[in-house]
Amino acid sequence: MLLALCGLVMLGLVREETGTEAFFVGLGLAVLPAPAVVLAFRWLGRAHPLPWRTHAFVLAWGACAGALIALVTNSFAAVWLADIWSRPVDPNTVAALAVAPVVEESVKATALLLVLVFRGRLIRGPVDAVVLTGLTATGFAFTENILYLAKAFGSDRDEGTGAAVTVATFFVRAVFSPFAHPLFTCMTGLGAGLALLSRRRVGRVLLPVAGLLLAMAMHAAWNGSTVFGPLGFLVVYVTLMIPALGFTVWLVLWHRQRELRTVRETLPRYALAGWLSPYEPLALGSLRSRRVAAEFASYHGVRADARRLRTYAAAATRLALLRSDAERGRRTPDFARRERALLDHLWQDRALARPAFAHSWRLVPPRAPHLLPAQPARAAAPGGWYAPPQWWPRTPPPGQGHGYGQGAGHGAPPPYGRTFPPYGHSTATYGPTGPMSHPHATAPAGTPTGAEGTGQPSGGGTYRDPWVPPPAQRRQEPLRRRQW
């Protein structure tokens, strides 16, 4: 409600300053580049997608509260400098170089600070921080573009220059540099994200400050390029903006691949315990496999199943990052509770996820540089493609298969006189219902047993199905969906 009020006040101030006609022209032109920038940031964060409410909050903060605070502060600063500034330099130039970068980058960084304070467990590294700060700056740039484009249209109308100023302003702000504000603020996000990964207190304190100062310096250099005319703009654009954009995109993509690698290396622990099927850890560590699995779920179910599968993948990624942070010694408050909540969420949607990821496994076999813990070397097929160990359940052929602990399952015809629930729904209780309820309840002949052959603890030659959680982790009471 407060952000909506700030947005209405901001739009009212712009309309009063530029006029109704110019305001609507500026609004229509400012809308054009915004969706592309928003989609680009959402694409960067698709390995660990954050809730859409968080994205909407930072967008609204930048477009409404941040823009309003910056407009009021910059206006007062320009008036104050005009009264006390006696040097030949234009006070508006001083405000653009010294005041605007500090004020605007500070208010944009406030959105990330609020998310860290109230929803800090959602941000797991530089990728999440860069996505949030970039979306904040995108909202801020959208509102600022309305103001500048409306002023340009009003200048053309008053001076009778046609649409020359409006076209020039649109090309500079919406075509050549729609990433300018997001790029500046991403420096703050990089500093904050790297601070989250730092194990030293000095790094956790200095990295966010260094990122914010770098964002202010880049913003000041960009504003100063207009003082030296078109040549200064081209010099700053070619020597600063383009290299900084390329380096930032490369660094974010590298960290995204690192997160996916963490998923591939960490989730096999839960697969060995039975929380995940054998094919999920590496399938979840590939964005292409996730897309294929979502298409499979949407084709065999409804569109909501694809959204549930994406939520499932996000929960699995968050679980892998949470576990990795704990194993590396990072402070993880309420680790046991958060891990259990994520595991419960994955368990509830297992009937939807397992057939979909098994399908994506067959269609897009992911490459894995690391095998599962305690896995025999012969489990890797020729050519470097990952293959599950021999003692894991095999991928059922089309039309034949087994479900999870109950009867014939997905892919097999139901017995005479019985019907199975629709795709994505399971009537199975939490865990198996009997010692022989699973098709693989007993080990095949020649199956390796013990810690050396299977990664399972020695148990007198007995075989425990990796799809079934250990007895200590089974629960018979109904599960409740928890907030994770």
Rounded CA gap, 172 and 152, in Å?
12
Name the more confident of 474 and 178: 178
* Mean pLDDT on 326-344: 83
Nearest-angstrom CA–CA distance, 91 and 79: 9
Residue with tokens 């007995």: 462
**Average pLDDT score over residue span 175-204:** 91
**Any idea what DSSP says for residue 367?**
B
Angle, vertex CA 188, rays to CA 183 and CA 189, nearest 5: 85
Residues of the chain by 3-state class (helix, strand, coil), percent to 5 = 65, 0, 30
pTM: 0.74
Whether residue 306 contacts residue 295, with contact meaning beta carbons closer than 8 Å, is answered with yes
pLDDT of residue 465: 40
Mean pLDDT of all residues in 170-188: 92
Give bridge partners of residue 367 from the DSSP assignment.
385
Q: What is the pLDDT of residues 381-417, one digit of tens each?
A: 233 233 333 434 444 344 433 333 333 333 333 333 4
pLDDT in tens, 125-154: 899 999 999 999 999 999 999 999 999 998
Are the beta carbons of 331 and 198 closer than 8 angstroms? no
The segment with the largest mean pLDDT, out of 5-19, 233-247, 442-456, is 233-247
Give the residue from 472, 468, 479 showing the smallest Cα distance to 434.
Answer: 468
Q: Which of 448, 342, 433 is nearest to 391 (CA)?
A: 448
Strands (E), 253-319: none
